[in-house]
Structures are given as C-alpha cells and as structure tokens.
Structure 1
Amino acid sequence: MAKFTTTDDVTIDYTIYGLGQPIILVAGYSGNQATWVAQIDVLVANGLQVITYDRRNHGKSDTVNYGMRLSRHGKDLAELISVLQLKKQILLGHSMGASTIWAYLSLFGDEGVSAVITEDQVPTMLQDDTWPFGLFHADMGTLIQAIEKLPHTKLTRLKISDDIKRAIGENYQPFDFQFNMPLLLNSAVQDWRDVVRRERTPHLYLAGGESPLWPAKHAELAAKMTKYGQYVIFDGAGHISHIEVPEMFNHAVLEFINQL
C-alpha cells in the first residue's frame, strides 16, 4: 500500500499490483479497495497493472468534512493519475465509483483514457420524461426518501463466496452513512448524460439483471448514447456483480479490453 496527499490536504490510500496496461478500479459508496479482491489477481495475470484506491472518506483514506462532492472526487482521481504518471489508463468504476469517473471525464476529458467500464450506475439518478431509471424510481419530489432508503437496502441478489466475504470482512473499514450524506445527495442530483454523449473512448456498461436500484435496461440505453458503447447484463445478479458473479464479470471485462 502507498499514500499520496491531495492538493486540499487529504491523504489517499492506494495499492499497485503487477505491470502492464494500467487499470484503475474505483469502488462505490461506502466500499473500499478490498471489494475488488476477486478481480485483482485475474487482471494482473492477464497483463494489466491494477491500481486500487480508497476515495476520500472511504477505507483507509482520510475522512474530512469537506470535498463531499463528485467534482472533488473526480479531481482526486486526476491527482492520483498525475502522481503515478499514468498514460492511457483504463478506468473501471462501480456505482458511485462510476460517477467519480464521469466527474473526472467532465473536468479533464478522455484524451488520456484508453477505455471506460462502469458497473450498475445510471448517468442520472432522477427519473423524468427523458429518463425512466431513477433510483427506486425517484424523481426530484421523492429524492430524499430514496436517499434515506439506500443504506438499508440489500444490494446483492446472489450468494457471495466464503472467500470473498472473508477477504472483505478482514479489510472492513467503518463508514459513517449519516456523516457522508452530503456526498450521496450530491451524487444523486448529477446528470452525466452530456458527458456520456461526448465520450470518444470505448465504454462498457455492466448491469445486474436483478439490481434493486434500477432496471438493468439502463445499460443498454446508456450504451446507445455513447459513440463506442457496449453493454453486458448479468442475469440474476444484483447491484454488485463483481462479487456476486466474479467469473462472468472478469470474463466480460477482459473480453472488452482484448478488443481495444
């Protein structure tokens, strides 16, 4: 493990595995680097340099009462890329990790990005006449109820292997949902569809067929918005396919990367 300090004095914890094409794995809301335990060795074995990190207020990184917005999380990702002097990296994000990637693309563009992979995250979490996949079907009028419901929702639908559960449990880090509510609220009101439409890099959208947050069809619709979009839906999986169906998840990711 290693650390760097952001320009606003937050220490970020990160880990590098292997050599080769860099791929940065960005965990979702309340998650940490350990959630990628079923991906790291497989990706390294296939010639990738895997980089994981804990976003601010997550895992072993500093918890602070500022920067609770996706724009700052996107800048943190940019600073990690700069510190490591990466070129043409692949970005893979789950849930809010995907939104972090969109924040990065919005601020810094995709010139240095080889590909994007997003897992079970919609580009906008509010439902209206132009987008049917709100969080728990929420619109602006029911947003607060949806936000309050999220921490109490079981996100998985399939049994997690004992090995994965053990690895995640051994690396458990407390997360204060109430303290970090401003970050979740900020994420919920973003609309990244303009970013999606302007992407010039290949983008794979992954979705759980039984995600409790939104219908899986969001992946197909978002892929159609993107110039080089593809999508895969994992039947029966919930919101966290990379731990529910890791073999299928890894196969989809590697098949996509091998096309680049």
Structure 2
Amino acid sequence: MPFITTDDGTEIFYKDWGNKDAQPIIFSHGWPLSSDAWDVEMKLAADNGFRAIAHDRRGHGRSTQTYFGNDMDTYAADLDALVRALDLRDIILVGHSTGGGEVVRFAATHGVGRVVKIATAGAVPPIMVKSESNPEGTPIEAFDGIRAGVLADRSQFFKDLSEPFFGTNRPGSTISQGQRDQFWRLGMQAGFAAVYDCVKQFSETDFTADLQKLDVPIFIAQGDDDQIVPPAAASEKAIKLVKNGTLKLYPGGPHGIAGAYQQELDKDLLEFWKS
C-alpha cells in the first residue's frame, strides 16, 4: 500500500487511481471516515481521464493512529506533504464536511500556484460553533455531546449518528443499512485520540480568512436537509466570503453523500471538473 511519511514520522496512506500524467483531483474525507468514503467519486474521476487521489487523514483509516497533531493546520500540512511528494500541479480539490475545511485551509496556506479549482460538499467552513457573531451555528453543548458519546460508547454512538448523517430518520429515505454499516466500519477504523480531538477542529476552527484568500473557482454544494452541518451557518455563509464561487443546495439532500443526492452531486462535480 502506498504511504508518504511526514516530518514528524506520521505515515499517511493514499490511493492513486487513473492516468498518472492526467490532471489530479484530490479528495479529502469527512470525520470519522477514510478515503474509502470517496471510492465512487474516485472511480468517476479516473474513468473520465483524471488522476484520482485520496488520503486517509492522520489518525484515520490506514494512516498512523496519532496522538499528537490532530489539528487543522497539521492536516493541511500533511496534505501539502503528499502534494509535494507526488509533485502535483493544476490540482482540483474536493472535500466533504471536515475534509472541506482541510482543503480550504490547504489551498489558502499551501496551494497557491498549485490549486486551480475547489469543490466542497457539506463542508464545515466558515465555522460551525454558535457564537454572538455566528448565531446560526451549532451550540457548543452539541459538540460536547459528541465527545461524551465517543468516550462512553464509540461503537454505538457511530451507529446512532449514521441516522441523521444519512437522513434515514426522514420519510421516504432510501439509504440502505449497508450505507450506515459502512459509516460505522470506517469510523471504527480511526484512532480514538484522533476521533476525539477532531471534534474541536471541525467545530471551532474559523476558516473565514481562508475562504477570503481563495481566488480560484469554488463549487460549494450542500444538501438543504443536512442535519449535521446547518447550511445557514456553512454554505450559505461561505459563498459570501469567496471571490469566485457557485452555491448549489440539493433539495432533501442529507449530510452523507449517498442515494439520489450522490447521483446528482456527482453529475455536477464531473461538469465542474471538466469546465
């Protein structure tokens, strides 16, 4: 299996599909998942002539189960290490949820001159936690509850979380038990410390300045029934901060990329990649 090793000795696993001479698309996964969450989109990219790359964030999937460095700046630095190791240029970035924050931070701090397009789906920027300046956000007590659930019974917590994640608590949901089981499986592969520490990173990191720095085309996608990342505090604010952005809200779409939402999103992603 391919790995790169960062300056602090962390091994980052990555997948690399398609033509190695083609334009690269890098996929960044959400919490608490791994690069496997992007398999459908990676195949779509590779089948359409792109080089599809996805990594397991440190502490997740097959990467080192780190105790230190589980923070957004280090996540972005790890991605930079991968980009430099593979000498990637003309990069298209795609990030879901926490991964949306990661690619935005990477593009703003490391990607100038290398990144040409960005797409996010259900992404956490600009900031999730509720405050006086972000009244549409989610109260800190909700994130404290996530941490408590992880500490008390991570396995059952992930099983329960898969319901709002994919919107299976909504009438007419067609998301299978298999999809929910895959969420649980990928979550349980992650290191315990990383799972816990990442909650603070996806909820309290302020990406406002990062979004304002971006001048490449950015496609901001989100299900309008996202029960994990409220659109009013995320995509609907992010679009106002970027210079060259397009926002699309998908009616009835959940947070997890699956079902009819995935099918429509993938069509739009392919069109954006080729544009």
TM tier, smaller: 0.7 to 0.9
Conservation of the 8 A alpha-carbon contact between 1:209 and 1:237:
yes
Conservation of the 8 A alpha-carbon contact between 2:35 and 2:55:
yes
Show the counterpart of 2:104. 102
Show the counterpart of 1:48. 50
- Partner SS state of residue 254, structure 2: coil
Show the counterpart of 1:156. 166
Cα distance in 2, alignment partners of residues 148 and 171 from structure 1: 20
Cα distance in 1, alignment partners of residues 74 and 229 from structure 2: 26
Of 76-85 and 104-113, deviating more is 104-113
Distance 1:105 1:2, change over 3 A: same
Show the counterpart of 1:120. 122
Name which of 241, 246, 261 aligns with 1:225.
241
How far residue 121 of structure 1 moved from its aligned partner, in angstroms, is 1.7
Name which of 213, 232, 254 aligns with 1:238.
254
Structure 2: gaps spanning 5 or more residues: 150-156, 168-172
Q: How many residues align?
A: 256
Distance 1:142 1:55, change over 3 A: closer
Show the counterpart of 1:174. 189
Conservation of the 8 A alpha-carbon contact between 1:156 and 1:244:
no
Show the counterpart of 2:5. 5
Q: Is 1:69 matched up with 2:71?
A: yes
Of 77-86 and 181-190, deviating more is 181-190
Cα distance in 1, alignment partners of residues 259 and 37 from structure 2: 7
Name which of 195, 210, 213 aligns with 2:228.
213
Conservation of the 8 A alpha-carbon contact between 2:66 and 2:193:
no
Distance 1:236 1:45, change over 3 A: same
**TM-score (normalised: structure 2):** 0.82
- Partner SS state of residue 174, structure 2: coil
Cα distance in 2, alignment partners of residues 227 and 68 from structure 1: 30
Show the counterpart of 1:138. 139
Cα distance in 2, alignment partners of residues 60 and 67 from structure 1: 16
- Percent identity of paired positions between Structure 1 and Structure 2: 23
CA-to-aligned-CA distance 1:18-75 (integer Å, 9 cap, x gap): 1221000111111112111221221112221100111111111110211111111100
How far residue 246 of structure 1 moved from its aligned partner, in angstroms, is 2.3
Compute the RMSD of aligned alpha carbons. Answer: 2.7
Distance 1:169 1:125, change over 3 A: closer
How far residue 214 of structure 1 moved from its aligned partner, in angstroms, is 3.5
Cα distance in 2, alignment partners of residues 53 and 67 from structure 1: 16
Cα distance in 1, alignment partners of residues 205 and 185 from structure 2: 33
Give the counterpart letter for 1:89 in structure 2: I
Give the counterpart letter for 1:209 in structure 2: D
Show the counterpart of 1:82. 84
Structure 1: gaps spanning 5 or more residues: none
- Partner SS state of residue 59, structure 2: coil
Cα distance in 2, alignment partners of residues 201 and 156 from structure 1: 30
Cα distance in 1, alignment partners of residues 49 and 80 from structure 2: 23
**TM-score (normalised: structure 1):** 0.87
Of 122-131 and 6-15, deviating more is 122-131
Conservation of the 8 A alpha-carbon contact between 2:60 and 2:194:
no
Give the counterpart letter for 2:16 in structure 1: I
Cα distance in 2, alignment partners of residues 147 and 171 from structure 1: 18
